[in-house]
Structure 1
Amino acid sequence: MEYVIAIFIGLLYAAGVYLVLRRSIVKVILGILVLSNATNLIIFLAGGLKNSAAAFIPEGAQTVDPTTVSDPVPQALILTAIVISLGISAFLLALKYRYFDVTGTHDLDQLKNTDQR
């Protein structure tokens, strides 16, 4: 299963880099979002995939085998990264809206033709 997810992560990185290298500012923003999702998946994969119980230790248990519980740290990191990614995407969309109001174009190559003064 890890191999399938690793191939999917590679495809997401390839699609994200392809979108970032495009001329449209909308495609650049979408590429950044795809790259952040691929990074979240690679952090999740680094934590290991286990078909086991949650990371809670039952009350009264003397010892718990660490191989039977999943690691909560990568999951917490991904949750934090998702929240940060949501804030960044909202900022980028507001920036794109203002960018289009000022310049009148989405194309980054046409930006040098839109000098105001």
Structure 2
Amino acid sequence: MFHEDFFDCLSAKIKGAISKEMIKDNFMARAEDGGYLIPPMKVLKKYIEQELEERILVTKRLSPPRMADQKELDNKERSVQIKEEEFPGMHEALKKMKELTKTLKGQKEAFKD
């Protein structure tokens, strides 16, 4: 039968995963020889689709963000504008930080030589 041949062509991991679920849901009956009877193609298709969807979701959760996504996150971080009224004296503090940075760079260069 076609559905049996189809089932035999599946990878061992997929076959094992869907067999376990189909046995649990009583879609695979015991055969006289001790094995299991393969359910119709419609049932196989349903369980294969569920297994593949689950694997795709797990893969998406475990994979790191794509570079395009990371660039988008970086751009969002840069585009945040801090308002002066939220942090009084912010501009003066930034000016002092820039001056200190220049001073430290100058001292670092002086000690390099």
Instruction: Give the TM-score category using the shorter length.
Output: under 0.3
After TM superposition, the score normalised by the length of structure 1 is: 0.27
| Larger CA Rg, structure 1 vs 2 | 2
Kindly indicate whether structure 1 or structure 2 has the higher relative contact order, using CA contacts under 8 Å at least 6 residues apart. Answer: 1
After TM superposition, the score normalised by the length of structure 2 is: 0.28
